[in-house]
Chains A and B, each alone.
Chain A
Amino acid sequence: MNTRNKIILSLTALTLGYILIFSGFIYFSIENYSYIDFYKRLEIRAITAAKIELEHQQDSDVLREIRQEFLEKLPNEKINIADISGVNTQAKAKKLGVPVYFIEEVLRNGKGFYNKQNTYFSGIRYQTHGKDYLVTVSAQNYYSTHHNAYLKNLLIIALLISILIIASFAYLFSKLIFRPVQNIIEKMREISTENMHLRLEVPKNNEELRSLTLTFNDMLNRLETSFETQKNFISNASHELNTPLTSIIGEADVTLAKERNTEEYKNALGNILEDAERLSKKTEALLLLAHTGFNGKVQKFELVRIDQLIMDAEQTVQKIYPNCQIHIDFELLPETSDKLNVSGNKELLLLAVSNILLNACKYSDNQEVKVALGVSNDHVVIIIKDQGIGIPEQEMPYIYDPFFRASNTGNYHGYGIGLPLTRNVIQMHKGVLSVFSKENEGTTVEIKLPVNQ
């Protein structure tokens, strides 16, 4: 069931339930009230009848007038006055056609009520001139049969009509609510791989939908970038692999063109070997990248002390760039060391951290590289900050593309595989790698890894 129908149903059910309770309450209160009212009418008639029949002539004349003038005759009204002094209640009950408990109740309390189907009985005990009388009045309750039935029908019809009204309101309401969502869905359908540049229109006055469309647009941006990456990868890779191959072929071609002496052959073979080694390094790096990519393979994870890891990475980097000034700042290390443990693969993590550190040293021409470590409640945060050449802002979306190298890296040797490799490793450890950079000012890399709890 879709959300729209759900809204219509639940809204209708909710309002219906409320109306049901409401009208039920009214119906039963009115019914109860009409019973009580009817019994009271019967009681008044019983009292007046008793007075008229049993009291002095003078009083009863006045009362008879009053009765004729003000007390209308009820449907099927029957008045019965009986002397009950010394008479068996059971015999009396049989004679009047009422149950024994009714008579007993009247005798006990002075008055009593009872109904048989639609005929209502009211009885009082009347004592005068030293005699005990039982006065019963019975009549049909016109109100219960007619008024209450009318009320019942009225409420049921009103209920049916309100179902229609509420359902149509809920329908309109949900339509109103979902129209923008529907619009977004239609727009999203239009966007496919052919027209990835299209973006959703951002609504101005709907906060939730605004953030939804913004998120969609953001996602589309990222999708577009990764699509481009995919497209570029093959051409980049073949170009990267082709360059050393062309140079090998060229070298061999030139050497084989005519007879050469041993020295020249040696030289040529040396060049070919150098190119072949470069090619092999590239393919190795590519293989590693493929291995660390998300392929669902479970790596062997162990507990790794992250401060130790950073020291190891620094030593590795110092061997390659002996002039690099790496400054490690452990000032914000936590007081308890158990939070420094990260569950991960030590070799891969070392590769990732030293890759970043190598980049920092390579692109900053022996300027100071700062490394800091901090541990929050959930993450180990490693910051590596250099004062090197930075990354141009418009090239930031492509830094994770394999073989991509920023436009200002011409003077530095590299393949463009380090950063994507590092990101793969960090993602494998459920961490986050963020790079902040300003051209010519430096780059800050932030690695967040989840703490082993």
Chain B
Amino acid sequence: MKNILVPTDFTVDSLILLKKAIEREEEKANFILVYGKSLPGSISELVFFSKGRLITALESKSFIEAKGILKNRYFSRINTLRTDIFYGGSQGAFNNFIQGSSIDSAYIPEDSKSLHPALKKGFDLMPYLKRSALDLHEVAYSNQTPVTVEETLAKLLIP
């Protein structure tokens, strides 16, 4: 089964990428939402660091809800859907990350400034993705204005 990487910024909007990726894949596959965030700099924060807790803190209620909607909709197409975080800061680290998760291909937005990871203090994965040896599929998705306050499921449900 293929492992598909989809970059995310933990907004409901960005799940449109995932939706399009699922639609473009013909077979059942494993989908991995990846977010770039550096590890904390202070030793005390590192001691109590946990990836699970970080992901829980990053995922908003609407985001989880939206993921649930997609999972229910494409029940037969999604084998697993998980969220992962890339901590590294170099191309080598990213290549290792891809190898470690044995990722086969990735879906990226046509407009590379559509994701806004800076909203939740993460970094952009686009440069790493573009320089990696991955099979990249571009998806028509553009969102120049980052979401500010409330997050609605409307954008996912009504394109």
Contacts and interface: CB of A to CB of B under 8 A. Distances in A.
A93 B66 CA distance: 92
Contacts of B156: 332, 374
A334 B70 CA distance: 8
Interface in A45-64: none
Interface string A323-336: 00000010111111
* Chain A interface size, under 10 / 10 to 19 / 20 to 34 / 35 or more: 20 to 34
B72 to A, nearest CB: 4
A152 interface: no
B157 interface: yes
Interface in A295-329: 329
Interface in B139-159: 150, 152-154, 156-158
B157 A383 contact: yes
B71 A377 contact: yes
Interface residues of B, number: 20
A297 to B, nearest CB: 30
Nearest to A381: B153
Contact of B158 (A335, A372, A434): A372
A376 B65 CA distance: 5
Nearest to A445: B154
Contacts of B152: 383, 434, 436, 444, 446
A339 interface: yes
B69 interface: yes
Contacts of B72: 334-336, 339, 374-377
In this complex, the member of A334, A336, A370, A434 whose beta carbon has the largest number of chain B beta carbons within 10 angstroms is: A334
Interface in B112-154: 150, 152-154
B73 interface: yes
Interface string B55-79: 0000000001111111111111000
Q: Is the interface of A mostly helix, strand, loop or mixed?
A: strand
Q: Is the interface of B mostly helix, strand, loop or mixed?
A: helix
B68 A446 contact: no
Contacts of A339: 72
In this complex, the member of B71, B75, B153 whose beta carbon has the largest number of chain A beta carbons within 10 angstroms is: B153
B154 A374 contact: no
B75 A336 contact: yes
A346 interface: no
B80 to A, nearest CB: 15
A335 B154 contact: no
Contacts of A125: none
B154 A376 contact: no
Given A376-B65, A381-B65, A329 B157 contact: yes
Interface in A364-413: 370, 372-379, 381, 383, 385
Interface string B21-47: 000000000000000000000000000
Nearest to B150: A436
A436 B74 CA distance: 28
In this complex, the member of B67, B71, B73, B76 whose beta carbon has the largest number of chain A beta carbons within 10 angstroms is: B73
A373 B157 contact: yes
A370 B67 CA distance: 21
B69 A381 contact: yes
B60 to A, nearest CB: 13
Contacts of A383: 152-154, 157-158
B71 A335 contact: no
A385 B155 CA distance: 10
B79 to A, nearest CB: 14
A374 B15 CA distance: 14
A372 B73 CA distance: 13
A379 B150 CA distance: 18
Contacts of B70: 332
In this complex, the member of B64, B70, B72 whose beta carbon has the largest number of chain A beta carbons within 10 angstroms is: B72
Contact of A329 (B67, B74, B158): B158
Interface of B: 64-76, 150, 152-154, 156-158
5 contacts: A370-B158, A372-B157, A381-B65, A446-B152, A446-B153
Given A332-B157, A375-B69, A381-B153, 8 more contacts: A332-B73, A372-B157, A372-B158, A374-B72, A376-B67, A377-B72, A379-B65, A448-B65
Interface of A: 329, 331-336, 339, 370, 372-379, 381, 383, 385, 434, 436, 444, 446, 448
In order of increasing CB-CB distance, the 3 nearest A-B pairs are A376-B68, A334-B72, A372-B157
